[in-house]
Structures are given as structure tokens and as C-alpha cells.
């Protein structure tokens, strides 16, 4: 396999080696294993369309990464591309605020049942601001989050370790020091222990940050826990923050808030809504968003911003191209009245069901888990070789292993995908890497 993949991805490997000295890219060392050193590289691609990408060796792949979940309609989707091209001809400069920003904010508040919206450049920035405004408004300093969640690269949330006695987050990554983590507590997601801790320490906790359904564990959907968490935080002047950067505008146009009928105080969005362009969104109650700009006031009277503001900023936060792509995304989603998302979600469910039946019958250690159109392979031990075999057979899954179907993944493409997965399993079994059920 190593030789075949090295030959197939020859130019990707040459590109990686050519620029390694000057281009520091963490993905080019992800999962490093000295025995698999020749397979440690990121695919280099300069062409994509629909459900497919092509690498610079001109190999075609069914794409299951889909821009880390940011591509919902398919690559190079004509309505989005045309909207970007139209806006590009008008203006793509920043400085004065694009007139599209206000329109987009108004539309988001209506769809998500929030009151105010602020724009940023990424999901990480959105989470960072959400935590900041929660602390500013509650005047408390501690944050609770949960093991297994992904909240971007904000320093106080970058650890999987905790002190077993205090539950305080502990440093585990070079550069993330303990002092940065001293205001963060981490618990197992869905645990009764976390609820008891929050109740006991309510006077000191500013926010509870949660991925309603964790992208790394999509089969765990603890709705009753979330409802209890909503009740506890609401009674304790604690901001409940939903991180819906991945699930927002994908599982439902109203995200997990609508699906589970739970309204958070602050919600972060990104990925899908940007139509493939960078965006981060903080939405929520005026009580929290007012701390960004002092709150609402009027011209022509004696009103003024009455809330003391914190500080947020960013050169490209309201980029006209991102605003245009986001407005078009929402227009498309609204025009289908939820049917588009439901169709993709059902297609994913049927696909995962069929594959799990195949795995159970033939390779019982393999399985799939999913939530909406997000899914993951469960690949213990040597079964992780599946990803390399899939790449060899024309299926691309990135190093983080979250997979997504899009509107461009037709039944015909999914049938081809299933065939490639089955072929990859048979080939791994023939190599003695995985075992066929006896």
C-alpha cells in the first residue's frame, strides 16, 4: 500500500517535501508513525467540483471532507459562485461596513430566534468572543466545558486533561500554560457530576460551553442532559453557550437549538453559512451581545449606549464576499423550507445504515456513527489503515476524520462510495490487516 500510494500521490509528496523547510503545517505531521512515515502528508489539490476533488497528480476522489464541513451544496456550486463573482465586481474592500452585514444579521436573528448578531473571521474567534462577553456580563470568571468537544484553537479550551480532585483543566500541549487554563473546568459530557459542580459553584461560573452534539462523538445526543443544563444555568445567572459552528445550518436551518427546542444565551456559528468562505458568528440575547457595542440607542433623542463595552475587532470581520455568500446560503436553505437539509440528513442515515449492516456481517469491528449529514468511521487499532486504502481507491478523508455528505453526493455517487469502501475492506483483509468475520 505504501508504495502504491506514494506513486499515486507523487506530486503531493514532492510538494510537501519541497516546501516543508519554509511552510510549517501541522497537518503534515498528524498521526506521525515512523513505520508509516511515507504516508504522512496532506493531499494537495487545486481543483474541485460537486462531490469531487482532484489532486495535483490529477487523481479524482469522492470528497468526504467537504471543506471540513463548510461545503453543504457541493464544491463550485453555481449560485454561490455567481453571488461571489457579482459582489467581487462591486466591492471586496473593507473599512466602511458592507450594507450586506445588516441584512445578514437581521436574517440570522429571525432564523435562529436570537436577538443580536456579531461577525468574525472564524469559529475559533466566535468562541473566543462568546466566552469573553459571558464573563463581561456575568462578572464571573470560570468556564465549564466538556471532554470530547472541539471549540477551535482558543487557549483556555485546548486540553483533554484535568485535575481529578478539582476538575480544573490542566496543561497538556506545549505553549498552553497552566495559568491560561486556571479559569477552565472540564467534565465528561452528559455527566451528573458536571451538573452538581455547576450548581455548587454557580456564583463563580460565568459560562458553560457545549457542543450540543460533539462532532467527534456524533452518536451521543444527550437531549435530556442539555435541557437540565439549560434549567440549571438559567437559574444561576450562567451563560449557556452552544457551539454550533459545525451543526448550525447543517442539521437544521435553526441548528440544534431548533431541533432540541433549547434556546441558549449565546450561539456560535461558522462553516456552512459562509458558503465556503471564512466566517464566524456570535448570536444570542441582547443581554450578552450588548456588551460588544453598548446596546441599542436612537438618533434624534437623548438615548445613549448604556452598557459598558468590552473590546472586539478584526480587519475582515464583515468581508463583503463572506456576507454575500452567507446571504445566498440562507436564501437557498429558506427557499427549500427545510427539505434540502432533511434530504441530505436522510441520505446520510440510509448510507450509514447500509454500511453498518455490511460491517456487522463482514467486519464487525468496523462501524459508522452519524448525526444529520456528519458521520465518522469507527476504526479501532489497525482498522485505521482503512483511510489510506480509501485514498488509494479514490475516497478522500482528512486527518481529523470528520466526514460530511453534501447535496452534491447523489445516490449514484453514494453507491460508488459504498463500493469503494467494500473494496477497501476486502483489500485490507487480503493483506491480513483486518479480519473477515468467521
**Per-residue model confidence as pLDDT tens digits over 419-429:** 999 999 999 99
| Overall number of domains in the chain | 2
C-alpha separations of 109 from 119, 154, 264, 310 in Å: 13, 25, 13, 22
User: What are 144-173's pLDDT values in tens digits?
Assistant: 999 999 999 999 999 999 999 999 999 999
Mean pLDDT calculated for residue range 49-69: 98
Half-sphere CA count of 363, side-chain side, radius 13 A = 28
Lookup: cell for 133: 462577553
- Assign residue 350 the CATH number of its domain: 3.90.1150.10
325, 80 contact by CB (below 8 A): yes
Is there a domain that residue 438 lies in? Answer: no
pLDDT tens, residue by residue, 216-251: 999 999 999 999 999 999 999 999 999 999 999 999
The closest of 288, 250, 252, 251 to 267, measured between CA atoms, is 288
> 330 with 230, same domain?
yes
Question: What integer is the mean pLDDT of 178-202?
Answer: 97
How confident is the model at residue 249, as a pLDDT? 97
Residue 347 lies in a domain: yes
What is d(CA 152, CA 128) in angstroms, rounded to the nearest whole number? 9
Which of 299, 149, 333 shows the shortest CA–CA distance to 160? 149
The answer on pLDDT for 22 being more than 90 is yes
Q: How is residue 141 written as a grid cell? A: 470568571
In this structure, what C-alpha cell is assigned to residue 71?
461545503
Looking at residue 340, its pLDDT comes to: 97
Asked whether 99 and 88 are in contact (CB, 8 A), the reply is no
C-alpha cell at 61: 476522489
Identify whether the C-beta of residue 146 lies closer than 8 Å to the C-beta of residue 139.
Answer: no
Q: What is the CATH classification number for the domain harbouring 155?
A: 3.40.640.10
- Reported as a single tens digit per residue, the pLDDT across 102-141 is 999 999 999 999 999 999 999 999 999 999 999 999 999 9
Parent domain of 387: 2-76+339-430
Cα 288 to Cα 295: distance, rounded to the nearest angstrom: 9
Residues 268 and 345 in one domain: no
Q: Distance (Å, rounded) from C-alpha 147 to C-alpha 188?
A: 5
Share of the chain above pLDDT 90, in %: 93
Amino acid at each position: 500500500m505504501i508504495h502504491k500510494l506514494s506513486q499515486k500521490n507523487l506530486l503531493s509528496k514532492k510538494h510537501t517535501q519541497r516546501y516543508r523547510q519554509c511552510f510549517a503545517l501541522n497537518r503534515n505531521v498528524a498521526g506521525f508513525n515512523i513505520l508509516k512515515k511515507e504516508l504522512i502528508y496532506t493531499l494537495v489539490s487545486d481543483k474541485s467540483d460537486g462531490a469531487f476533488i482532484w489532486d495535483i497528480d490529477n487523481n479524482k476522489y469522492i470528497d468526504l471532507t467537504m471543506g471540513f464541513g463548510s461545503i453543504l451544496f457541493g464544491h463550485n456550486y453555481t449560485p454561490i459562485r455567481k453571488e461571489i463573482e457579482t459582489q467581487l465586481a462591486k466591492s471586496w474592500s473593507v473599512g466602511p461596513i458592507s450594507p450586506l452585514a445588516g441584512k445578514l444579521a437581521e436574517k440570522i436573528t429571525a432564523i435562529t430566534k436570537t436577538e443580536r448578531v456579531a461577525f468574525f473571521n472564524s469559529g475559533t474567534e466566535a468562541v473566543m468572543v462568546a466566552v469573553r462577553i459571558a464573563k463581561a456580563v456575568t462578572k464571573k470568571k470560570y468556564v465549564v466545558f466538556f471532554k470530547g468537544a472541539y471549540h477551535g484553537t482558543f487557549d483556555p479550551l485546548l486540553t483533554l486533561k484535568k485535575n481529578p480532585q478539582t476538575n480544573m483543566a490542566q496543561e497538556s500541549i506545549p505553549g498552553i500554560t497552566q495559568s491560561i487554563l486556571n479559569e477552565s473546568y472540564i467534565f465528561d459530557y452528559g455527566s451528573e457530576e458536571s451538573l452538581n459542580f455547576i450548581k455548587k459553584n454557580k456564583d463563580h461560573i460565568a459560562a458553560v460551553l457545549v457542543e450540543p452534539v460533539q462532532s467527534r462523538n456524533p452518536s451521543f445526543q444527550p437531549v435530556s442532559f442539555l435541557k437540565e443544563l439549560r434549567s440549571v444555568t438559567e437559574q444561576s445567572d450562567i451563560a449557556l453557550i452552544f457551539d454550533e459552528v459545525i451543526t448550525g445550518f447543517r442539521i437544521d436551518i435553526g441548528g440544534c437549538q431548533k431541533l432540541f427546542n433549547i434556546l441558549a444565551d449565546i450561539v456560535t456559528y461558522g462553516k456552512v453559512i459562509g458558503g465556503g468562505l471564512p466566517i464566524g458568528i456570535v448570536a444570542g440575547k441582547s443581554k450578552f451581545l450588548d456588551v460588544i457595542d453598548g446596546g441599542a440607542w436612537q438618533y434624534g433623542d437623548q438615548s445613549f449606549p448604556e452598557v459598558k463595552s468590552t473590546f472586539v475587532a478584526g480587519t475582515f470581520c464583515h468581508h463583503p464576499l463572506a456576507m454575500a455568500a452567507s446571504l445566498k446560503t440562507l436564501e437557498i436553505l429558506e427557499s427549500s423550507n427545510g427539505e434540502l437539509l432533511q434530504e441530505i440528513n436522510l441520505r446520510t442515515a440510509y448510507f450509514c445504515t447500509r454500511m453498518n449492516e455490511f460491517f456487522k456481517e463482514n467486519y464487525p469491528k468496523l462501524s459508522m456513527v452519524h448525526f444529520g449529514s456528519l458521520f465518522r468511521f469507527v476504526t479501532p487499532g489497525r482498522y485505521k489503515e482503512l483511510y489510506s486504502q480509501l485514498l488509494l481507491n479514490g475516497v478522500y478523508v482528512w486527518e481529523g476524520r470528520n466526514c460530511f455528505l453534501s447535496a452534491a453526493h447523489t445516490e449514484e455517487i453514494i453507491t460508488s462510495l459504498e463500493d469503494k469502501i467494500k473494496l477497501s475492506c476486502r483489500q485490507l483483509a487480503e493483506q491480513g490487516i483486518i479480519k473477515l468475520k468467521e
